[in-house]
A and B are shown apart, each in its own frame.
Chain A
Amino acid sequence: MQALGIDVLFKGTNMQRLLLGLWVSLRISLISVAISIVLGLVIGSLMTRKNPVIKVFTRIYLEIVRVMPQMVLLFIVFFGTTRVFGWNIEAETAAVIVFSFWGTAEMADLVRGALISIPKHQYESAAALGMNEVQIFIHIVIPQTLRRLIPLSINLVTRMIKTTSLIMMIGVVEVLKVGQQIIEANRTASPNAAFGVYAVVLLLYFIACWPISMFSKYLERKWC
């Protein structure tokens, strides 16, 4: 243990601090996912409309998110907009804005995919049975899209958690930063701490994400 540098984590409140750091990332990702799902549902259903203006705008939006690294978006919001508009935003707020912006696009694309995957005859049969548009939406469209959407949106949660590790780069003190601080503080007492601490951080992320992605896989197999 000494040689691997894991012992550092059991000194004082180090482990507690590390877990609190993980909670910071988890909190930001959960808030962002919640926002993304709500906005994604709205924008995703807008995207199935035939309106050319909406089509162009959503297409550009999706393409921006598709090609821009999240880190660049973080820098633009955190350093760029503060400079241009002269306001002051907290790093955590900037993170939530960026990850919601990214997540909404991902979610909207999933919603769109799920909606267009419903065969046309489903709508036609429902209409032939005398259902009106609202009824078709509630009884036919929603049950079928939800089954496809839920596993994929749960998967979005794990991706969000992994992406939030980037917030360290704009100065949020999260699990990786706490790990770094612990290593720095114990530089002389435990020179090998870098190995142990980063291995534990890696493991913590794995523990946070793996069950969620397993659950999503299970649902996908069960429902699709």
Chain B
Amino acid sequence: MNFEVMRSYLPLYIEAMKLTLKIGWIGIVLSVIIGFACAVARHYRIPVIGRIVGVYIELFRNTPLLVQLFFLYFGLPKLGLDINAEVCGALGLALLGGAYMAEAFRSGFEAVEPIQTESALSLGLSPVQTVVHVVLPQAFSVSVPAFVANIIFLLKETSVFSAISLMDLMFTAKDLIGLYYKTIECLTLLVIFYLIILLPVSILGSIVERKVRYAGFGD
């Protein structure tokens, strides 16, 4: 292992990490929004939209991100929808994540017993107040473990972005291996950088999971 070489690669990896984090962050925020909207549409059985959302969730949960990205990046331009690689990456991640987040939120909603809503309504809370003050806090605390698992899953999935020639960590490592043949140094750096990104999320996730377990009712 040549540390001199590794040090000279560092700036490239840092640039790549910034890109991975940027797209990952945008993708995750969007996926939470999409997921929440979809879960609401599914749970409250909004006509037509609920159905469409169901198809969307099944479609994206049952296909790999790599194929989705290929379709978005190479397929859609043939219909005249040209999107650049970064937008495409974030969009792909958001759509995939949205489907997973929707399931996470939905299981949270389902875990809230009808009696909670009924009691809140009979206490004189308006339907909106019921949802905001009674249903959502309980639903969120139930879906936190799945939510954390999804965030880690999505951050890991960003590694396929190199397939649509985004200069992320994976791409940089592959590129440097191809150029200088310093396989071990490049792979070590790759592992270190993914640990820097994911280990804090994993640890923080476990802490949050433990905290919200106290918020459960009825058990």
Interface, chain A (partner B; CB < 8 A): 5, 63, 66-72, 75-76, 79-80, 83-84, 158, 162-163, 165-166, 168-169, 176, 179, 183, 191-192, 194-199, 201-202, 205-206, 209-210, 213
Contact = CB atoms under 8 A, between A and B. Distances in A.
A67 B62 contact: no
Given A198-B71, A206-B63, 9 more contacts: A68-B156, A71-B160, A72-B190, A72-B194, A166-B160, A195-B76, A201-B67, A206-B58, A209-B62
B63 A162 contact: yes
Contacts of B68: 202
B195 interface: yes
Contacts of A205: 62-64, 67
B170 interface: yes
Contacts of B67: 165, 176, 198, 201-202, 205
Interface of B: 58-59, 61-64, 66-68, 70-71, 74-79, 152, 156-160, 162-163, 170, 173-174, 177, 183-184, 187, 190-191, 194-195, 198-199, 201-202
A188 to B, nearest CB: 14
Contacts of B64: 162-163, 165-166, 205
A201 B191 CA distance: 31
B100 to A, nearest CB: 11
B138 to A, nearest CB: 21
Nearest to A214: B58
B41 to A, nearest CB: 19
Contacts of A197: 75
Contacts of A166: 64, 66, 160
B71 A169 contact: no
Nearest to A207: B62
A63 B199 CA distance: 9
A183 B78 CA distance: 12
Contact of A213 (B61, B66, B74): B61
Contact of A169 (B61, B75, B78, B163): B163
B208 to A, nearest CB: 15
A195 B202 contact: no
B191 A68 contact: yes
